[in-house]
Structure 1
Amino acid sequence: MKKYILIFISLFMIGACKSQKKISNSEQNQHSAIAISQPKIIFTLATTACYGTCPVFEMSVFENDSLVYNGENYVKVKGQISKKLAKGTVEKLQKQFRNANFFELKNVYEMNVSDLPTTYISFTDNEKTKKIKDYAGSPETLKQLEALLRALVEEEVILQR
C-alpha cells in the first residue's frame, strides 16, 4: 500500500511540475505592452536631512508631464502627492538641462564642511541617465537646475494645495 501511495505522490508531483502554462506570443506582447506603458522618469530631486531644519523630500518628474512628490520632514506638505503638470513642462525642462550641459557636470560636489544637506539630482535624456550628488561647492549652473525643480515643487505641490 505504501508503494502505491508513493507512486501516486510521485506522479502527482511530476504532473504539477509539467503543468506550467506556456505563454503565447500574443500574451507576451500584452505583458510587454503593460511594462512599456509605464511612464519613464526624466528628472529626480531629493534632499537629505541636516542637524537643523533642512527640508527632506523627493520628487520625480515623468515623461508624461506628471510629478510625484514625497515630503518627509521640515516641509510644508508631508506625504506623497501625484500631480499632472502643464503639457510641455518636461520638454521645457529638458531644453534647460541640455543647454546647461548637465551631462558635462561632475558626478559629485563635496567640500570639507559639516552639517549641510545633500541634494541628489538626476536627468534622463535619450536612455542616458546622470545622477549628481551635491553636498557643497557645486557650480551656479547646477544650483540653477536644482532651483528649477524646487520651484516646480513649490508651484505644483505647495501653492496648489
Structure 2
Amino acid sequence: MKQICRFIFILPTFLFISCSFHQVAEDKDPWIEMEKTSCRGQCPEFKVSFYSDGRAIYEGYSFAPRTGKYYARLSGKDFEKLKNMVTTYQPDSFQNNYLSLRPDLPTTYIRYTSGGKIRIITDYDNAPEGLKKFEEELEKLTERLSWKKFR
C-alpha cells in the first residue's frame, strides 16, 4: 500500500516536471520573428515567431485576425518557402532602422537570428520595397498556417 501511495505521489510530480522542461524547450530564441504594433487607428497588433525546428507561435492583440496565443507547425513545403524568403530578401542587407517624424504609424519589427547573432530591423516608415515584400510574405505565410490555441 505504501508503494502505491508513493507511486501516486511521484507520478504527478514527474509529469509536472516533464511539462516544465517541455515549456523551457519551447522558449528558445526564434529564427525569424515579426511583430506589428498598433497605431492610432485599427492596425492589427500581433507577433509571430518562426523557429528553426518548424514550430511557429502567434500572439494576437488588438485588431489582429485572432487574439490570444496560438501555435502551429510549418509543413516541409512552408519551411522551405520561409528559407527561400530569407535567401531572396536577405534580411542582413537591410539597415537597422527605417524611421520618420510622421506620428502614429504602426511599426514592424523583424528579428532575425543568423550565426548566433540576433538582428532587429525597425520599420516605422520609408523602408525599401524589398523589406516591405519580405514583411508581406511573412504575413501571408502566417495567414496560411493552421493555428491551434494554447490552453
TM range (shorter): 0.7 to 0.9
- State which of 85, 91, 116 in structure 1 corresponds to 2:74: 85
- Counterpart CA distance in 2 for 1:88 and 1:37 is 24
Cross-structure match for 1:21: none
Deviation at 1:80, TM superposition (A): 0.4
Contact kept, 8 Å, 1:61 with 1:90, in 2: the verdict is no
Taking only aligned residues, the RMSD between alpha carbons, in angstroms, comes to: 2.7
Instruction: Describe the shift of the 1:112–1:54 C-alpha distance in structure 2 as closer, same or farther (beyond 3 A).
Output: same
Are residue 97 (structure 1) and residue 89 (structure 2) matched?
Answer: no
Of structures 1 and 2, the one scoring higher in RCO (CA 8 A, sep 6+) is: 2
Instruction: Describe the shift of the 1:134–1:53 C-alpha distance in structure 2 as closer, same or farther (beyond 3 A).
Output: same
Cross-structure match for 2:30: 41
Cross-structure match for 1:6: none
Instruction: Describe the shift of the 1:37–1:91 C-alpha distance in structure 2 as closer, same or farther (beyond 3 A).
Output: farther
Which has the greater radius of gyration? 1
- State which of 132, 143, 149 in structure 2 corresponds to 1:154: 143
- Counterpart CA distance in 2 for 1:37 and 1:154 is 25
- Counterpart CA distance in 2 for 1:124 and 1:145 is 15
Cross-structure match for 1:62: 51
1:146 is paired with a residue whose SS is: helix
- Counterpart CA distance in 1 for 2:146 and 2:136 is 15
Matches within 5 A, 1:1-161: 40-157=29-146
- Counterpart CA distance in 2 for 1:40 and 1:63 is 9
Task: Calculate percent identity across the aligned residue pairs.
Answer: 29
Deviation at 1:84, TM superposition (A): 0.9
Number of matched pairs: 128
Structure 2, gaps ≥5 residues long: 1-21
Q: Which moved more, 1:65-74 or 1:100-109?
A: 100-109
1:83 is paired with a residue whose SS is: strand
Residues 61-103 of structure 1 deviation map (CA, whole Å, 9 limit, x = unaligned): 0111111001011012110001111025334323322332311
